[in-house]
Structure 1
């Protein structure tokens, strides 16, 4: 297995691309790759007073569908669970803390980046 082709390295490269993009949009980085038993958060950013939990998805091309379509209902549940764990672990109230879930979809080796704000709702 070639290290430079591993899924983890490729994913990290696109997370870096998304991070740079979001910083240019005025967001502030807080954390990345937070893991807990229920899931993982790619990026955690601040947009003014709100925490923003970012899911980064990449597709080489749209032949296999839009990158944002990879955020399945199961993935959404895991993101919500992981964000809850992160907030509580960092002593933030689930009721008094402003937060949202965004998706960054990257296509064509980074030539197209789309930002979907409030892409995931807590049903």
Structure 2
């Protein structure tokens, strides 16, 4: 009986957290959602290398074969040398990063040559 209770007490929280992580990838925005505003100084500096927020928006739209207006930013965290961006693309949350002036998905490794 103790083994049964121990097994149930371990399995139920695992199933609960597994379901929570699947729901995190969907983004539902209200009609009056306001995108976060990027820092104007950093955007002015990034304009020299074509690495602004609008360039990232074009990159995401081209990569996913959608319209530019379908890309909505949820979070923007950036510095001159790097940045992390979270965007809602057709109801699905996607994370991107910037290293210098290069954009890529957050889970990609630019130094992985075994592709």
Structure-1-length-normalised TM-score: 0.31
Q: Larger radius of gyration, structure 1 or 2?
A: 2
The structure where strand makes up a greater share of residues is 1
Which structure is richer in relative contact order (CA contacts within 8 A, separation 6 or more)? 1
* TM-score normalised over the length of structure 2: 0.32
